[in-house]
Amino acid sequence: MTQHPVSRPHVNRRDFLKRTAATAAAVSLSTPAIAQNASRVVVVGGGFAGATCARTLKRIDPRTSVTLVEASHTFTACPFSNNVIAGLRDLKQQQFDYKNLEKTGLEVTFEPATRIDAGARTVIIGDAGRLPYDRLVLAPGIDIRWDGLPGYIEAAAERMPHAWRAGEQTLLLRKQLESMEDGGLVVISAPANPFRCPPGPYERASLIAHYLKTRKPKSKLIILDAKDAFSKQGLFLGAWKELYPELIEWVPLSKGGRVTSVDPATNTLTTEFGSHKAAVANVIPPQKAARIAELAGVADKTGWCPIDPVTFESKLQQNIHVIGDACIAGGMPKSAFAANSQAKACAAALAKLLAGEKPDEPKLINTCYSLVAPDYGISVAGVYTPLNGQLTDVKGAGGVSPANAPRSARELEANLANGWFKTITGEVFG
Ligand SMILES: Cc1cc2nc3c(=O)[nH]c(=O)nc-3n(C[C@H](O)[C@H](O)[C@H](O)COP(=O)(O)OP(=O)(O)OC[C@H]3O[C@@H](n4cnc5c(N)ncnc54)[C@H](O)[C@@H]3O)c2cc1C
Beta-bridge partner residues of 276: 269
Residues 6 or more apart whose Cβ sits within 8 Å of residue 63: 11, 16, 19, 37, 38, 39
H helices of 279-406, where? 291-296, 336-354
For the chain, the residue count is 430
pLDDT, one tens digit per residue, over 309-326 is: 999 999 999 999 999 999
Ligand 1 atom closest to residue 338's alpha carbon, by position in its atom list? 11
Q: What is the pLDDT at residue 37?
A: 63
According to DSSP, residue 97 is labeled -
Rounded to the nearest angstrom, the distance between the alpha carbon of 78 and the centre of ligand 1 is: 7
Q: What average pLDDT does the segment 68-74 reach?
A: 98
Ligand 1 atom closest to residue 333's alpha carbon, by position in its atom list? 19
Rounded to the nearest angstrom, the distance between the alpha carbon of 141 and the centre of ligand 1 is: 5
- Whether 79 and 417 have beta carbons less than 8 Å apart is answered as no
Separation of alpha carbons 319 and 137, rounded Å:
8
Cβ of residue 320 lying under 6 Å from some atom of ligand 1? no
- Whether 134 and 39 have beta carbons less than 8 Å apart is answered as yes
Sequence-distant contacts of 90-93: CB under 8 A, at least 24 apart: 91/166, 91/167, 91/170, 91/171
Task: Determine phi and psi for 261, rounding to 5 degrees.
Answer: -160, 160
**What is the reported pTM?**
0.92
Which of 55, 1, 9, 3 has its CA nearest to residue 353? 9
Cβ of residue 78 lying under 6 Å from some atom of ligand 1? yes
Cβ of residue 70 lying under 6 Å from some atom of ligand 1? yes
Rounded to the nearest angstrom, the distance between the alpha carbon of 47 and the centre of ligand 1 is: 6
Is the pLDDT at 21 greater than 60? The verdict is no
Give me the torsion for CA of 78, 84, 90, 93, rounded to 10°.
Answer: -20
Is the pLDDT at 27 greater than 90? The verdict is no
pLDDT, one tens digit per residue, over 72-122 is: 999 999 999 999 999 999 999 999 999 999 999 999 999 999 999 999 999
Task: Determine phi and psi for 287, rounding to 5 degrees.
Answer: -130, 175
Residues 6 or more apart whose Cβ sits within 8 Å of residue 12: none
Q: What is the pLDDT at residue 38?
A: 87
Cβ of residue 196 lying under 6 Å from some atom of ligand 1? yes
